Amino acid sequence: MGVNAIINVNDVNFYYGNFKALTDIKMDFKKNLVTALIGPSGCGKSTLLRLLNRMNDLIDGTKVEGEILFAGQNIYAPDVDPVEIRKKIGMVFQKPNPFPKTIYNNISYGPKLMWNLSKSDIDDLVEQSLKQAVLWDEVKDILNKSAMNLSGGQQQRLCIARALAMKPDVLLMDEPTSALDPISTAKIEELIDDLKKNYTIIIVTHNMQQAARISDETAFFYIGKLIEYNKTGKIFTKPDVQHTEDYITGRFG
């Protein structure tokens, strides 16, 4: 286990019913880095991402073998409450999914449920989270308008702000820009770069150039196996494994 690792995946197998979606996955995610998970559809990268905050618990007939340690604790141990895990390991999805509420309430909803906060504490948290997500200047005068009126890119940054309001350590992102235009995508990428100072970010992306641009380390998956896990600069210039090279250069039969 590396000293800087915040999540350790130890010999994990994962099944959807009889289908084995992940085989013998062993990898550490390092603190304050952006790690990209890449690979063709069905390679298991999103499955692994969802395993990291127990989102797959919600799917019937799934089974996990092995252990996933977060800050040294096995998140699949019987006494662990998945809700507690999801507080520390937040998630942002492919399509922006704001609550059909005001912008303010989108951010304050979780913290209000979780902590006993004064009105001014919540105001501060809303402002701080929106600032962190670089959305504050665009919405500070319309906090009581519905989040549904925001553009797709703004909605996605709102979802990131909503995740940040829960004070997580890790942010999981499942193709966070695939539904966004290039300008919104650039804003999110810029944001990811800012956020890694304080958070560990793990991102699934089909956009290889995006993985190359924003991540420090990249893991390439194929048919449920981790093929290569390396520094991003290495993966995109001289990967160690031929299979990785074939995939990222578009030579995949």
Partner 1 sequence: MEERKHTSSHYEMELREVKNGLIYLGALTEQAIQKAMKSLLERNSELARKVITDDAEIDKLDNELEDRCVRILALRQPTAIDLRFITTAIKINGHMERIGDMAVNIAEKAIMLNEEPQLKPYIDLPRMAELVGEMIKYSLDALVRNDLALAEKVWQKEQIVDDLNEQIFRELLTFMIEDPKVIHRAILIMQISKNLERIADHAKGVADMVMYLVTGESVRHQSSAGNLKN
If residue 13 lies in a helix (H) or strand (E), which one and from where to where? Answer: strand 5-16
User: Vertex 223, ends 50 and 38: CA angle to 5°?
Assistant: 60
Binding-site member from 2, 51, 209, 227 for partner 1 (CB under 8 A): 209
Give the binding range for partner 1 (CB under 8 A) out of 52-60, 99-107, 153-161, 207-215. Answer: 207-215
Helix axes 152-164, 119-132, angle to 10 degrees: 130
Minimum Å distance from CB 28 to partner 1? Answer: 24
For partner 1, give the closer residue by CB, 197 or 251: 251
Minimum Å distance from CB 212 to partner 1? Answer: 7
For partner 1, give the closer residue by CB, 56 or 244: 244
Interface residues for partner 1 in 210-229 (CB under 8 A)?
212
236 binds partner 1 (CB under 8 A): yes
Q: What span, in angstroms and rounded, lies between the C-alpha atoms of 225 and 43?
A: 7
Q: What span, in angstroms and rounded, lies between the C-alpha atoms of 92 and 74?
A: 23
> What tokens does 228 get?
């290569």
R_g of the chain, CA atoms, integer Å: 18
Binding-site member from 27, 179, 208, 223 for partner 1 (CB under 8 A): 208
Q: Is the Cβ–Cβ distance between 178 and 206 less than 8 Å? A: yes
Interface residues for partner 1 in 92-151 (CB under 8 A)?
none
Minimum Å distance from CB 225 to partner 1? Answer: 20
Minimum Å distance from CB 172 to partner 1? Answer: 25
Size of the site for partner 1 (CB under 8 A): 18
Q: What span, in angstroms and rounded, lies between the C-alpha atoms of 20 and 145?
A: 45
Q: What span, in angstroms and rounded, lies between the C-alpha atoms of 99 and 42?
A: 29
Binding-site member from 61, 72, 78, 250 for partner 1 (CB under 8 A): 250
Q: What span, in angstroms and rounded, lies between the C-alpha atoms of 133 and 123?
A: 16
Binding site for partner 1 (CB under 8 A): 208-209, 212, 235-239, 242, 244-246, 248-253
